[in-house]
């Protein structure tokens, strides 16, 4: 506690930041309230770059890394322990001089904050607070905390991954971090105990949540037969409740048609918040429900000006989730398999004869699924950014996009092995099998052959070719591209609405149910 006069004597000429109270009910993945939290935060919108902070970006672990680590833990029977840092951000010191107003309804008396309902407005009081700790609300609060924890992990002997900055390793001891939620993976339970004890000794305040059963809203269950179940029934219930559908109808598939802008269509009727629902559905699709990825992505394109046709599409997804609320993704670990990738493209799937001049309808859709040990690690359904002129070109562009994620996974496995993590010892290197159902795209990926219809392809789409050919020393290519029939192409579920029978067949291969 200091005064505004003293603040100015120290050369601080800016207005102090407002103090804000934040109240929150914290729930577990089952939807149950676990605690009521009240935090004193500062108004981050009043902070000034160059005065209160310099950089704000703080990395969070990629979901692909989380699923990859879960699969590794099942393959090698590693111990998984969850750590929760209590009031994480204030454990770090602030990096600059920051002054904050006295909280509303408080005043300073004898050097202490005293609750007083009749206290003057904070801006009219002569006292201010000089921040010592990194409290919530600061623009760079997350980054400051990340650097603080990173220092403690490096001091313990960890090394930071160059592929994912939120993955740390020390031999076979792995640490995955998402802001203030950490997961320790190790073959030896004692190493996890030693890490937790060391962090506490270094002054970090944390709770040991025990064996990994829930992480970032996911229910994680180990099932018999080398299987891992990921599901979010409470989150699905919350989404369904927000839509407030009047009838009890349910659907067997999440999509039946390709959506368009529908500029002259009837306006929507339901009052649910379209952006909020689509945002939550997108999170659900990217974490535990890849079966709705295509349906959600095409709805997300039209949240700015939604029409009745788009609202009906959202309702269909919700009715599909009502039928499958207890389902998620069952990852069946097959130790004999390495990295596999299924790639598909829907060439100009949105093209309509009634509106042939709309360039957005001519874009093709890319869909891919990347697996490790038979478990889905990465999946995506996106429109391509440029118009393909043939099915071969559309498939090749999809192949290029998928290979970016494949190369990331290969680099991650190579890095883990180089740092002493014991992966499959029978393989000299991690290779990837990519399954593609277009012969032209496969030939284009393997042979640097120019043709009149493909020579215009940009360099950005050829970046992975060096990974598909033998090395100078005769070593096998790290990426092998194979043909697969369309009926067995799992990525087909990511590119277009499918009939019930085909959808359920591919869903079983992808989600395990």
Q: What is the pLDDT of residues 31-65, one digit of tens each?
A: 788 889 999 999 999 999 999 999 999 999 999 99
Q: How confident is the model at residue 447 (pLDDT cuts 50, 70, 90)?
A: low
58-110 confidence digits (pLDDT tens): 999 999 999 999 898 888 888 999 999 999 999 999 999 999 999 999 999 99
What is the pLDDT averaged over residues 388-396? Answer: 87
Packing angle, helices 274-287 and 233-243, rounded to 10: 160
Report the C-alpha gap between 82 and 96 in whole angstroms.
Answer: 32
Strand duo 181-186 + 33-42: pairing: unpaired
Neighbours of 154 (CB within 10 A): 13
Angle (nearest 5°) at CA 494 between 492 and 495: 70
311-333 confidence digits (pLDDT tens): 999 999 999 999 999 999 999 99
Q: How confident is the model at residue 351 (pLDDT cuts 50, 70, 90)?
A: confident
What is the pLDDT averaged over residues 425-454? Answer: 61
CB 7, CB 126: distance < 8 Å: no
pLDDT at 149 over 70: yes
Q: How confident is the model at residue 171 (pLDDT cuts 50, 70, 90)?
A: confident
Least confident of 86-90, 178-182, 269-273, 322-326: 269-273
Least confident of 143-152, 182-191, 400-409, 461-470: 461-470
Report the C-alpha gap between 280 and 238 in whole angstroms.
Answer: 10
Report the C-alpha gap between 392 and 370 in whole angstroms.
Answer: 21
**Of 169 and 474, which is predicted with more confidence?**
169
Residue keyed to tokens 């962090």: 199
Q: How confident is the model at residue 443 (pLDDT cuts 50, 70, 90)?
A: confident
* DSSP code, position 202: T
Kindly report the average pLDDT of the chain as a whole number.
88
**Of 370 and 432, which is predicted with more confidence?**
370
Q: CA torsion angle for 177, 180, 185, 189 (degrees, to 10)? A: 160
The pLDDT of residue 488: 87
Q: Read off φ and ψ for residue 403, nearest 5 degrees.
A: -65, -25
Q: Read off φ and ψ for residue 208, nearest 5 degrees.
A: -85, 110
Angle (nearest 5°) at CA 36 between 32 and 42: 135
pLDDT at 358 over 90: no
pLDDT at 21 over 80: yes
Q: How confident is the model at residue 350 (pLDDT cuts 50, 70, 90)?
A: confident
The pLDDT of residue 338: 86
Q: How confident is the model at residue 427 (pLDDT cuts 50, 70, 90)?
A: very low
């Amino acid at each position: 506690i200091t005064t505004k006069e003293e603040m100015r004597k120290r050369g601080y000429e800016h207005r102090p930041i407002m103090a804000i109270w934040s109240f929150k009910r914290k729930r577990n993945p089952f939807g149950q309230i676990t605690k009521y939290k009240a935090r004193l935060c500062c108004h981050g919108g009043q902070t000034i770059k160059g005065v209160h902070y310099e950089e704000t970006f703080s990395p969070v672990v990629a979901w692909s890394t989380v699923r990859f680590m879960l699969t590794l833990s099942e393959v090698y029977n590693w111990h998984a322990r969850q750590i929760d840092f209590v009031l994480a951000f204030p454990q770090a010191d602030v990096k600059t001089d920051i002054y904050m107003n006295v909280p509303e309804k408080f005043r300073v008396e004898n050097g202490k904050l005293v609750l007083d309902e009749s206290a003057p407005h904070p801006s009219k009081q002569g006292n201010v607070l000089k921040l010592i700790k990194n409290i919530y609300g600061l623009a760079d609060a997350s980054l400051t905390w990340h650097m603080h924890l990173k220092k403690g992990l490096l001091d313990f002997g960890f090394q930071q991954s160059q592929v994912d900055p939120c993955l740390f390793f020390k031999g076979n001891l792995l640490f995955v971090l998402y802001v203030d939620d950490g997961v320790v993976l190790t073959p030896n339970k004692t190493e996890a105990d030693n890490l937790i004890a060391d962090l506490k000794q270094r002054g970090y305040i944390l709770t040991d949540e025990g064996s990994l059963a829930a992480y970032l809203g996911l229910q994680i269950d180990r099932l018999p037969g080398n299987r891992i179940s990921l599901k979010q029934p409470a989150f699905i219930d919350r989404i369904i409740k927000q839509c407030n559908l009047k009838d009890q109808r349910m659907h067997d598939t999440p999509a039946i048609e390709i959506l368009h802008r529908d500029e002259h269509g009837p306006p929507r009727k339901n009052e649910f918040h379209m952006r909020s629902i689509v945002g939550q559905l997108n999170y659900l699709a990217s974490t535990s429900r890849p079966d709705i990825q295509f349906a959600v992505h095409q709805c997300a394109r039209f949240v700015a000006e939604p029409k009745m046709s788009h609202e009906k599409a959202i309702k269909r997804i919700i009715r599909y989730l009502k039928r499958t609320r207890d389902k998620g993704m069952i990852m069946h670990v097959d130790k004999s398999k390495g990295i596999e990738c299924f790639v598909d493209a829907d060439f100009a799937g949105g093209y309509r004869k009634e509106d042939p001049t709309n360039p957005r309808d001519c874009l093709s859709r890319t869909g891919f699924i990347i697996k490790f040990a038979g478990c889905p690690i990465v999946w995506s359904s996106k429109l391509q950014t440029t118009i393909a002129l043939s099915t071969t070109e559309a498939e090749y562009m999809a192949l290029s996009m998928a290979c970016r994620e494949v190369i990331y996974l290969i680099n991650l496995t190579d890095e883990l092995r180089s740092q002493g993590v014991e992966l499959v010892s029978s393989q000299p290197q991690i290779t990837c099998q990519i399954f593609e159902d277009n012969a032209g795209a496969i030939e284009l990926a393997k042979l640097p052959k120019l043709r009149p219809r493909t020579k215009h392809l940009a360099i950005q789409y050829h970046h992975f070719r060096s990974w598909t050919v033998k090395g100078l020393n005769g070593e096998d290519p790290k990426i092998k591209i194979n043909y697969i029939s369309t009926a067995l192409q799992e990525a087909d579920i990511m590119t277009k609405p499918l009939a019930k029978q085909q959808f359920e067949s591919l869903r079983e291969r992808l989600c395990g149910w």
